Chain A
Amino acid sequence: MLEVDIRKRLDNFVLDVAFKTETGGVTALFGRSGAGKTMLVNMLAGLLKPDDGRIQIGDQTLFDSGARVNLCPERRRVGYVFQESRLFPHLSVRSNLYYGRRFAPKGERFHNPTRIIDLLGLETLLKRRPVTLSGGEKQRVAIGRALLAEPRLILMDEPLAALDGSRKSEIIGYIERLRDTLNVPIVYVSHALEEVTRLADQVVLLADGKLVAAGPAVDIMGRPDLSPYNGRNEAGALIETQVVGHDDFGLTDLAFEGGTLCVSGLDLADGTKVRAHIRARDVAIATTRPTDLSILNVFHGRVVGIHGTNSAAMDLELDIGVRLWARITRRSATDLGIEPGREVYALVKSVAIDRHSLGLAQPPKRN
Chain B
Amino acid sequence: MSLLPFVQWLAKTPGSIALHESSYMYPLVESVHVLTLCVFLGMAVMFDLRLLGITLTKVPMSQLKHRLGPWMTSGFIVMVITGVLLFYAVPVRSYQSVWFRMKAVALVLAGLNAFVFHRTVDQRIEEWDRDPVPPRAARRAGARSLVLWTLIVVCGRMIAYNWFDCDKQPQPAIVNALAGCVVPAEATP
Do they bind each other?
Answer: no
Interface residues of A (CB under 8 A from B): none
